[in-house]
Chains A and B, each alone.
Chain A
C-alpha cells in the first residue's frame, strides 16, 4: 500500500511543474505562437523564486518573484517575437540558452557558489493539510498534505480550460491562432492577444519554477528545469493544446517518472531515468499512428 501511495504522490509531484508550464504553453499554442521557451521561463522563475524567498524570508514573496522572473523572460520573448517580428523558434532557443546562462551567472555572482545553492534562509512553500480529509486513510495521504502549488495547479487547469473555451478572451485567443488576419479585421489586435497569452504563460511557468526551487526541493541548482519545459511542449503539441489532455499527459509523465525512481531498486539509475522520455516517445508514436489512421478514413 505504501508503495502505491508513494507512486501516486511521486506522480503528482513530478507532474505539477510540467502541467503548469504546459498550461502556459497551451495559451500560447492557441494564440498561434510557436513558443518553445517554457524551459527558459521556468528556470528563470525557479531562480527568482529562490532569490525572493531568500532575501525576504517569505515564500509568498518567493512565488511573486518567481512569477515576475518568468514574466521578465516572457517580455524578452514578446520584444523579439511579437514587436520585432523575429522568428519565434530562434527567439525561443535564444531565450532558453540565455536563461541557463543568466541564472548560472547570477548564482555564481550573488551567492559565490557553483552548481547549487541551498540555505536555511530560503523559506519553502508549505504543504497544506486539509482538516477532516487528512484523517481518512490512504485517500487522505494523497488528497491532503500536498504542496500549495499542487492545489494551485488543479485550479489553474480548470481556470485555463474555462478561459480558453468559455470567455471572450478565449474566443479571441483561439481566433488569433486560427486566422490572425480575421481577428485583426474584426477590430481586435491579434498582437495584443498574443502579448497577453505570453504574459499569462509567464505567470504559469513562474509558478512551475517556484515549485521547482521552493516546493520540490528548497534550493536552486544550475539548469534545474532539466528538460521539463520541453516535456511540457511535447504535451501541448501532442494534444493540440487542450488543457484536459495536457493534464492527462502530464500525469502519465509524472507516473513514469515515479516508476523510474521505483525501479532504481533493481536497475541502474541511468536506465530508469530514461523511462519518462521513452514513455514520451511511445506516446508520440501512438498518437501519430492514430492520427494517420484518422486521416486515411
Chain B
C-alpha cells in the first residue's frame, strides 16, 4: 500500500461517512434538537454512535442524563483506540490534543491497517476527510429534515434502521450476536417498567456474562 492509495482510501471513507452524517442530521432534528444543536454535536462530540444514542434517547422522551450516559458508554471504546494510536503515532503537546478528537472507528482502522511508515498519514488524512464530510452532511441532513414532515416521510423508522445498520457489521462472532440479542431482549422487557432512556443503559448488563467468563 503506497501513500496515494492511503489518501484515496481515506477520501472514500470520508464520503461513505457522509451518508451516516445525512442520517444523523435528520435524526437530530426529528428528535427535537435545533439545527445548531445537531451541528454542534457533530463538530464537538465527533463519534457517530454516541451522537445517535444521545438524540435517540432524547427523541424517545428519555432524560438528558440517560442520553448522555448512553453516549458516554458507547464512546468508551475510543479510549482503547487511543491507546493503540498513541503507541503507533506517539504524538505530544497540541498535536496530541488535536489527534484525541480524531480518535474514532474509521481513523483507528485506517492507521492500524496502513504500513507503519504511513500510519500518521493514514490517520490525519482520514481524520480530515471524515471530519469535513461528517459535519457538512450533518448540516445538510438537519436543514433538510427541518423543512419536511418527518413522520409522513417515515424518518422515525429511519432512526431505528440507522442503529441496525451501525450494529450489523459489528456482529462478527457468536458472542457478539448473543450480546446483541440479549441487549435487545433486556431493553424490550425494561421499556414498560422504566422511564425512557433507561432501557438502553440497563441493556449494558448484557456484556457481563461474556466478560465474566474471561
Question: Is the pairing of A and B real?
Answer: no
Q: Which residues of B contact A (CB under 8 A)?
A: none
